[in-house]
Amino acid sequence: MTSQPSMIEPLAERVDRLLLRHAELQRTNALLAEQVAALTQERDSLRSRLQAARARVDALIERLPANQEAP
The per-residue pLDDT for 52 is: 98
pLDDT at 69: 62
- Report how far apart the first and last C-alpha atoms of the chain are (Å, whole number): 109
- All structural domains of the chain with their residue ranges: 1-61
Q: Which amino acid is at 7?
A: M
Each residue's pLDDT tens digit, 10-66: 999 999 999 999 999 999 999 999 999 999 999 999 999 999 999 999 999 999 998
- Cα(13)–Cα(20) distance, rounded to whole angstroms? 11
Ordered DSSP codes for 34-49: HHHHHHHHHHHHHHHH
CA distance 11 to 18: 10
E strand spans, 1-71: none
pLDDT at res. 67: 73
The pTM assigned to this predicted structure is 0.66
Identify the pLDDT of residue 66.
81
